[in-house]
Structure 1
Amino acid sequence: MIALSGLASATEVRIKTNYGDIDVRLYETKAPVTTKNFLHYVKSGFYDGTLFHRVVKDFVIQGGGYTKTKDYKETSPAIINEAKNGLRNLRGTLAMAREYEKDTATSQFFINLTDNQHLDHRSETNRGFGYSVFGKVIKGMEVVDKIAAIPTGASDPFDEEFPVYPVIIQKVTVKPTSSETK
């Protein structure tokens, strides 16, 4: 996408939840594989009607993998981990969730509630490889904080980090650039 000034504009998405909207700017240049993967899920409607199923006080909120009825959603194949891109897991950034193996991220993402340097790339091991940051909240951090304040408790199949009040990702959309709205 090219803005009127001739400079490349960053892609932005809106995560509409039942607690309010969260606007995110994606880091397409620094995390091209991760961004393309996320946008694939956004444009296909995959995230619509999913949950933020994990809330960990002073750490993260995580979503993008389970329906409102707590059913796991089948995903596309896993992507490579771009945690070596120099972006850090700071408050308000989005990163891909993964399993222990470093290249296992699919659809689930999290928003950092605080600076989580221990999630940054530190080594080539699975544990130290880190979590790929690919975006940043640019509007709606108060919504993120509202979600982070929800009490949690175990609810099959989830452990004690499951919000006791459902946090529904109603829709995720790519926001039009200023040149597309003229």
Structure 2
Amino acid sequence: MCRMKRSIPALIAAVLVAATLTTTTASAAPVHRPKPVVKCEFTPTPENPAAKPVRIPSATARARGTVDVFFVTNYGPFVVRMDRANAPCGVHNFVHLVQSRFYDSTQCFRLTNSTRLGVLQCGDIYRQEEGGPGYKFPDEVTGQETYPRGTVAYGNQGPGTNGSEFFVVHSFANIPPNYTVLGHVIAGMSTFDRMVAAGIADPDQDGPPVKPIRIYKVWSF
């Protein structure tokens, strides 16, 4: 564990450089610029209190630019590039939880690998869809969302119930466009391939992984 801690800065640099080399940038000037900030509505959920001490985020969110979120797991690292313009309140909330260390030292509670759904689900501290941040906020969807390999989106228990739970699509997800898309994995998809190869406890390929999937640490840049 100490060796991992010493090598983390170099690991971050290496993964981010790889992501930069494999990510293309648009050359055309944007025709329309989104609003620089938006107002968000975060509602306390006293019936489902925070699983970890965390404050409700501020109500103002940036609506331009991207943020890279770096994860270190027991299967390896991966980087997610989140789009503030697509989901300003969702990204604002996720960064807030990262900075509050909400996701540090947690486990991903569900792995699926069926013909319909191939995702890793994380962010629920109790692993029973009750271990959230103690608040919820509305969806940011258009009805046109798709969820190809590498997509990162919020999980929910119905409209307007976003909190801390999220999923990463490791193969495909044939699901309705009801889930707010945060961004996409830009480096480290092989980490998810290793997770899937390690197996799922349920013979139906939907449930806890055979070997626990642990998130050690998360940073945002």
**Structure 1 residue 152 corresponds to structure 2 residue 204:** no
TM-score by length of structure 2 reads 0.63
In structure 2, the CA distance between the partners of 1:81 and 1:39, relative to structure 1 (3 Å rule), is: same
Task: Quote the Cα distance in structure 1 between the aligned partners of 2:174 and 2:85.
Answer: 21
Q: What aligned pairs does 1:43-58 form with structure 2 within 5 A after superposition?
A: 43-58=99-114
Q: d(CA) in 2 for partners of 1:144 and 1:79?
A: 28
**Is the 8 Å Cα contact of residues 48 and 170 (structure 1) preserved in structure 2?**
yes
Q: Is the counterpart of residue 94 in structure 1 residue 152 in structure 2?
A: yes
Matches of 2:121 and 2:100 in 1, distance apart?
20
Matched, 1:106 2:182: no
Matched letter for residue 104 of structure 1? T
SS at match of 1:146: helix
1:39-78 correspondence runs (5 A): 39-58=95-114, 59-66=118-125, 73-78=131-136
Count how many residue pairs are aligned between Structure 1 and Structure 2: 153
Q: Kindly indicate whether the alpha-carbon contact (under 8 Å) linking 2:65 and 2:84 is maintained by their aligned counterparts in 1.
A: no
Report what 2:140 is aligned to.
Answer: 82
Q: Is the 2:75–2:195 Cα contact (8 Å) retained in structure 1?
A: yes
**2:69 maps to 1:13:** yes
Query: Is 57-66 or 22-31 further displaced after alignment?
Result: 57-66
How far off its partner does 1:85 sit? 7.3
Residue ranges of structure 1 left out of the alignment (5+ in a row): 1-6, 121-129, 176-182
Higher relative contact order (CA 8 A, sep 6+): 1
After superposing on structure 2, the runs of 4+ consecutive aligned residues of structure 1 that deviate more than 6 Å are none
Larger Rg: 2
